[in-house]
Amino acid sequence: MQIYNPPLKEIRFLLEAFGYDEQVATLDGFKDFDLDTVMTLMEQSGRFCAEQMLPLNRVGDQVGLDYDPDNYTVTMPKGFKELYQMSREQGGMGLTAPADYGGFGAPQTAGMILSEMATATNKSYSMCAGLTHGLIDALASHGTEEQKQTFLPKLASGEWSGTMCLTEPQCGTDLGLLTTKAEPEGDHYLLTGTKIWITFGEHDMADNIVHLVLARLPDAPEGIKGISLFIVPKFDLDGTRNPIYCTGLEHKMGIKASPTCVMSLEGAKGWLVGEPNKGMRGMFTMMNAARLLVGLEGVAMGEVAYQTALEYAKDRRQGRALDASKREEGVSADNIMVHPDVRRMFMNIKSTHEAMRGLAYWTGIRLDMAHNHPDEKVRQRADDLVALLTPVIKSFLTEVGFDNISEALQICGGAGYTTDWSLEQHMRDARIALIYEGTNGIQALDLVGRKLPRGGGRLLMRFSKEITRFIEANKDDEAMAEFIKPLKEGLELVSNLTMSVLMQRGMQDPEEAAAVASPYLKLFGYVSLGFIWNLMVKHAQEQGDAFGQTKVKTARYFFSNVYPEIHGLAKLVEAGKANVMALDVDEF
């Protein structure tokens, strides 16, 4: 059973709580995208996702892809090509693309909302547009004017789609081992090499596929400082076939309608993007945007799983309520929603899920401010916050989101384990988000090793000031006291551990920091959710309606039943590397 209702009321509540109209809709270029307009667009888009994309989700999983090794082509499952054309006509593909190059120029926050709904209804299919979105960002930031004029309008319209080609058989995380070569040839380059794990590297939905490829020039320095970035289209601009071929597909646990390709470049024509040997700048523009959207996948898949479990639970009857006053007369069994353990599982999902969505959109608003605010200081402050929170969002939201899907499946019991209720597909589809766009362990190392030390700790101080500013502004509000107290304690815990373990011990021995990076990131994630819950509770109390009262009750559960995990995580961080690294390799 496929179930999805776009959570538009939840999303509007968040954007109101975070001051979207004041923070984003007042910026140059976004005056036409006030909250009411954005929500009208999202209502239309959500309907399209639920009515057109969702029905093909199970089809894609069961039918899969058809690969032709003789012609190196991939045929999408039945209905996907038609869905792609409907998506183009619906207009969502170019929602956030620059208006000067054929897009609508909407805020990134709006694009994130659309991405959440698309991922929830058909993750495999939505990945194509997500990659194209990232390529548009990279070219808009680093391409020449000629490249922008040539590629961006067709990418924004969906006539062409995009990929990013980083990984090779011998290098994944360590891109310094990359060997794909780019030889100069007149006004272009000829690229030779093999790329793997290329999502939508080949398909039949778009007329052309534009690849962003990392490669080395003949005189390039060794390591990561010798990598350049190239545009390599499937078809050359004159329509001739460029020799970049899909030579095989990976057979995967999930996202089975998303072609994960092995790509062979056999002297493929490409054009340099940006400066020679500076390719990682352009690629990370694409990857950082992708990491935020991958984090949002944890929210999207958690949402559809929660809705599915709720639909099941409201109809399922088993046992009698322990509280006799809650027993329904005239029936032999009560609805399972009366049982405390079922409620506990639902509350675990609800209390984390709603705040995770909030953290993603709060960061999305900062992303729009970082790119578009007229004040350079405001732009820098917002950019620092986005940089700090990107690895947290990518890692924490996908991990807890996956746990929430597992909890939803557990609620449904044996039914959840079958194909009848789609939860097993959601689990399989969601698992990859903890791995791609930089594994969650790599995100933790990025947070601890790069983001925290940057600018002498400037990024963490920015975020701490956001929290302390809120605490100071509301310290005399008695209704907020029960929420502010644990938030303040959590912030102090993060600050103390950052100084004592990560900075002092970690500077003397990098393994000390690396060994505890993952529990530290998780602790940071929970404290971040605590901040978001405070923002939501404040807005809910100002609204004073039933919806807001539910928010306050959910926040209480979070702080009493979920948030205390920070103390156990703190002990893991304090423990350092001693027992993590205690065994020799041959003892495993």
What lies within 8 Å, CB to CB, of 190 at 6+ separation is: 182, 183, 267, 268, 269, 270
- In the predicted model, what is the mean pLDDT of residues 255-273? 98
Tell me the C-alpha distance between 350 and 564, whole Å: 17
pLDDT per residue as tens digits for the range 207-241 = 999 999 999 999 999 999 999 999 999 999 899 99
Give burial (CB, 10 Å; 0-12/13-18/19+) of 159.
Answer: middle
Residue 369 pLDDT > 90: yes
β-bridge mates for residue 182, sequence order: 191
Q: State the Cα angle at 367 between 548 and 297, rounded to 5°.
A: 65
Q: What is the mean pLDDT of residues 271-296?
A: 90
Cα gap 329→144, rounded to integer Å: 72
- pLDDT confidence tier of residue 315, bands split at 50, 70 and 90: very high
Burial environment of residue 56 by CB neighbours within 10 A (0 to 12, 13 to 18, 19 or more): buried
Q: For 213, how many CA atoms within 13 A lie in the half-sphere containing its CB?
A: 35
List Cβ neighbours of 417 (8 Å cut-off, separation of 6 or more). Answer: 409, 423, 424
Q: Say which range, 1-5, 89-93, 211-215, has the weakest mean pLDDT.
A: 89-93
Spatial distance between the Cα atoms of 313 and 317, rounded to a whole number of angstroms:
8
CA proximity to 289, closest of 147, 118, 449, 109: 109
Question: Which residue, chain included where needed, has tokens 């709060």?
Answer: 362
Q: Where are the domains of the chain?
A: 444-588
Q: Average pLDDT of the chain?
A: 96
Q: Which residues pair with 248 in a beta bridge?
A: 262
Mean pLDDT of the region 119-128: 98
Cα angle, residue 231 at apex, residues 242 and 208 outer, rounded to 5°: 50
Whether the predicted pLDDT of 519 surpasses 90: yes
DSSP H or E segment with residue 398: helix 376-411
pLDDT at 117 over 90: yes
Q: Could you give the percent of the chain with pLDDT greater than 90? A: 94
Asked if 527 and 487 count as a contact pair (C-beta separation under 8 A), the reply is yes
Each residue of 167-195: pLDDT tens digit?
999 998 888 899 999 999 999 999 999 99
437 is catalytic: yes
pLDDT-derived band at 504 (thresholds 50, 70, 90) equals confident
pLDDT band at 454 (very low <50, low <70, confident <90, very high): very high
Question: What pLDDT is recorded for position 443?
Answer: 97
How many C-beta atoms surround the C-beta of residue 181 within 10 A? 17
Residue 557 — very low, low, confident or very high, per pLDDT cuts 50/70/90? very high
Structure tokens belonging to residue 10: 């939840």
Residue 563: pLDDT over 80: yes
Lookup result for tokens 């690895």: 391
Percent of the chain surpassing pLDDT 70: 100
CA distance 398 to 39: 25
What's the pLDDT at 371? 94
- Return d(Cα 305, Cα 406) in angstroms, integer: 9
* pLDDT of 394 above 80: yes
Angle of CA points 405, 96, 355, to nearest 5°: 30
Which secondary structure element, helix H or strand E, spans residue 67, and what is its range?
strand 66-68
Give SS3 for 193.
Answer: strand
Q: Which pLDDT band, with edges at 50, 70 and 90, does 247 fall under?
A: very high
C-beta separation of 202 from 72 below 8 A? yes
Q: Which tens digits make up the pLDDT trace of 65-74?
A: 999 999 999 9
Residue 406 has pLDDT above 80, yes or no: yes
Strands 160-165 and 208-215, by their bridges, are parallel
DSSP state of 319: S
* Residue at token pair 């509301």: 474
3-state secondary structure of 104: coil
**Could you count the other beta carbons within 10 Å of the beta carbon of residue 245?**
20
Instruction: List all residues 6 or more positions away from 455 whose beta carbon is below 8 Å from its beta carbon.
Output: 384
Band (122; pLDDT cuts 50, 70, 90): very high
Q: Which long-range contacts (CB under 8 A, 24 or more apart) does 78-83 make?
A: 80/56, 80/125, 80/205, 80/257, 81/204, 81/205, 83/52, 83/53, 83/56, 83/125
Quick one: 572 exposed, middle or buried, by C-beta within 10 A (0-12, 13-18, 19+)?
Answer: middle
Annotated catalytic residue within 297, 407, 424, 437: 437
Q: Is the pLDDT of residue 354 over 90?
A: yes
Given a cut of 80, is residue 286 above it in pLDDT? no
Cβ-contact 362, 532 below 8 angstroms: yes
Residue 282: per-residue pLDDT:
82
Per-residue confidence band for 30, with pLDDT thresholds at 50, 70 and 90? very high
In the numeric block, which tokens belong to residue 228?
């350049």
Determine contact, residues 495/463, Cβ cutoff 8 Å: no
pLDDT attached to residue 342:
97
Q: Which helix (H) or strand (E) holds 212?
A: strand 208-215
CA atoms of 519 and 176, how far apart (whole Å): 28
